[in-house]
Chain A
Amino acid sequence: MKVTGKVWKFGHDINTDLIFPHTAFRLPPKEQIKLIFSDNRPGWADEVQPGDIIVSEQNFGTGSSRPGAVLLKNLGLGGMLSDSINGLFFRNCVSYGFPALQGPGISDLFEEGDVAEFDLATGLIKNLTSGKALQVPALPESMVETVDAGGVFEVLAAKGLIDPMV
Chain B
Amino acid sequence: MGMTMSEKIMASHSGRSSVKPGDIITCDVDWAGIHDMMFLLSGSQGDFSKINKVYDPDKIMMFIDHGAPSPTTADADGAVRERAFAKKHGVKNFFDIGNQGVIHQKIAEEGFAAPGRLIACGDSHTCAAGAFNCAARGFGPAEMIYILCTGQNWYEVAPTIKYELYGKLPEYVLAKDLFLYLAGEYGEVTNYNVEFAGPGIETLSVSSRQSVTTMCAEINAEFAIFPYDDILEDYLKGRARGSYEPVIPDADAEYAEVRKIDLSTLVPYVSGAHYIPDNCRPISASEGIPINQAVLGSCSNGRIEDLQLAAKMLKGKKIADGVRMIVTPATHEIYKEALRQGLFEPIAEAGAIITNATCGVCYGGHLGMIGAGERCISTTTRNFKGRMGSADSEIFLASPATVVASALTGKVTDPRTL
Contact = CB atoms under 8 A, between A and B. Distances in A.
Interface in A86-105: 86-88, 91-92, 95-96
A59 interface: yes
Taking each of A142, A153, A160, which has the highest tally of chain B beta carbons within 10 Å of its own beta carbon?
A153
A160 B137 CA distance: 27
B394 interface: no
B43 A17 contact: no
B42 interface: yes
Contacts of B145: 152-153, 156, 162
A40 B392 CA distance: 10
B274 interface: yes
B79 to A, nearest CB: 13
Interface stretch (A1-9, A62-70, A118-126, A127-135): A62-70
B366 to A, nearest CB: 9
A161 B139 contact: no
Interface residues of A, number: 51
A155 B154 CA distance: 14
A153 B142 contact: yes
Contacts of B50: 162-165
A25 B220 contact: no
Contacts of A155: 146
Given A15-B384, A18-B384, A26-B72, A70 B45 contact: yes
Interface string A69-89: 111011000000000111110
Contact of A166 (B43, B382, B391): B43
A164 B37 CA distance: 21
Say which size band chain B's interface belongs to.
35 or more
B191 interface: yes
A13 B274 contact: yes
Interface in B128-166: 137-143, 145-146, 149-150, 154, 156
B43 A29 contact: yes
Given A29-B44, A88-B124, A161-B51, A40 B143 contact: no
Contacts of A67: 41, 45-46, 140-142
B277 A13 contact: yes
A66 B37 contact: yes
Contacts of B249: none
A165 B43 contact: yes
B167 interface: no
Given A63-B124, A142-B154, A15 B143 contact: no
Given A67-B140, A152-B146, A162-B52, A22 B364 contact: yes
B190 interface: yes
